[in-house]
Amino acid sequence: MRKFFLFIAIILITFSVSAEVIISKEDMSLQMEKVTETLTTIMPENISALTVSPSAHIGKFFPAFPPHFEIGTSFSGTAIDTSFAKTSSDTFIKMILDKTKDVGLNFEINDNLILPTCAVNARIGGLFLPFDIGVFGVTIIPDTIEKLDFDDFSSTINYLTFGGDIRYALYEGNIILPKISLGAGYFYAQQELGFSVTKATSGKYIDPLGVEQSGLINIDGNANILIKTHTFFAQLQISKKIFFITPFVGARAYYTFFENECDWNYKTQITISDSTPIVISENGEKFTTERKDFQHEFIQPQLYVGAGLNILLLQIGLNVSWNPVSNYWSGGISATLKI
């Protein structure tokens, strides 16, 4: 999970640049919007891998002996191309360094990364009818994670996700034929990300006449993102226990509603000799992006496959999922006490 925080902390601010191109307020807000919308797209891919149970149906809770339920933890990761973050960070840093020279802000990010997350899971079999219900969730307790520092940059993180699903066994399987279930579910995810950059260094200020003057440059910048997503999904899964292995395959369709809030600002102060400091600042913008209405073109498909390894009461599950529209690949692993 800490790697997840590390990635999120640097995803907006990554490159070392010197400003030569004037960046407008609209440019910055547009790039920040793109980062937010991309993260909004990635989150359901990542979180859905946490919900996978190898068995298409775990059995009834009652009447059954023993009653069927499972509890455990799961981890998932989604492979992403970070080019969207590089473009946005470059824009932000160029804006901050406008009218300065020989000043650098340093941070690097790999071209491709795995975005991980984790959750606690539980699932219980149905009463009389062949269905089961699963729930999962994870959160950060406020003030338990300190601010993360990365050279000139730092970040604060708050994260919450929870959800559940219900699956009905269309066929409970037998010695030869597999189990088949049809399910539906929902999960909510919220990420609150705060980014800041603070640096004091010597450099040059380019005045309105184009004259370069040396002095002390103090930089302060902030960008904040609040992402709230509501994802609904339907799925079909087939599984078959063969000795101590349970291979499975499934298909899922999901739709995400979201409401995101963004704001940013910066201030650059230049002190030349004993003169009054020159302040270059931008209050930035506060804006929201949202999708509150259903639009069928935003329905996302997923195909997933995997297997469970059954060792006495312990089941280790592995799954891989693919979105043929976005081409996102995700993987998950779970460790479950299964009865």
C-alpha 108 chain-centroid distance: 19
- Count CB atoms within 10 A of the CB of residue 22: 10
Q: From CA 46, how far away is CA 181, in angstroms rounded?
A: 22
Residue 6 predicted with pLDDT over 70? no
Better pLDDT: 209 or 106? 209
Tell me the pLDDT tens digit for each residue of 284-321.
Answer: 888 999 999 999 999 999 999 999 999 999 999 999 99
Q: What is the pLDDT of residue 91?
A: 80
| pLDDT, greater one: 109 or 118 | 118
Q: In the predicted model, what is the mean pLDDT of the chain?
A: 86
Mean pLDDT over 173-179 rounds to: 94
Please name the amino acid found at residue 230.
H
Is pLDDT of 1 > 80?
no
Three-state SS sequence of the chain: CHHHHHHHHHCCCCCCCCCCCCCCHHHHHHHHHHHHHHHHHHHHHHHHHHHCCCCCCCCCCECCCCCCEEEEEEEEEEEEECHHHHHHHHHHHHHHCCCEECCCCCCCCCCEEEEEEEEEEEEEECECCCEEEEEEEEECCCCCCCCEEECCEEEEEEEEEEEEEEEEEEECCCCCCCEEEEEEEEEEEEEEEEEEEEEEEEEEEECCCCCEEEEEEEEEEEEEEEEEEEEEEEEEEEECCECCEEEEEEEEEEEEEEEEEEEEEEEEEEECCCCCCEEEEECCCEEEEEECCCCHHHCEEEEEEEEEEEECCEEEEEEEEECCCCCCEEEEEEEEEEC
Q: Give the total residue count for the chain.
A: 339
Per-residue pLDDT at 66 exceeds 50: yes
Evaluate the CA torsion angle 323, 257, 49, 126 in order and state its sign: negative
Q: What is the pLDDT of residues 250-266, one digit of tens each?
A: 999 999 999 999 998 88
* 330 strand-pairing partners: 78, 321
Task: Give residue 74's pLDDT.
Answer: 94
Segment 66-88 mean pLDDT: 88
Least reliable range by pLDDT among 161-165, 204-208, 274-278 = 274-278
Q: Is the pLDDT of residue 19 over 70?
A: no
**In this model, does residue 108 exceed pLDDT 70?**
no
Over the stretch 31-52, which tens digit does the pLDDT of each residue have? 889 889 888 999 999 899 999 9
Handedness of CA 83, 88, 89, 95 (dihedral sign): positive
210-224 core/surface letters (b: 16 or more CB in 10 A; e: else):
eeeeebebebbbebb
pLDDT at 14 over 50: no
Q: CB atoms < 10 A from the CB of 181, how many?
A: 26
Give the per-residue pLDDT at 20. 47
- How confident is residue 199, by pLDDT bands cut at 50, 70 and 90? confident
- Give 148's pLDDT tier (boundaries 50, 70, 90): low
Cross-strand partners of 266: 221, 282
Residue, of 212 and 228, whose pLDDT is higher = 228
pLDDT greater than 90 at residue 104: no
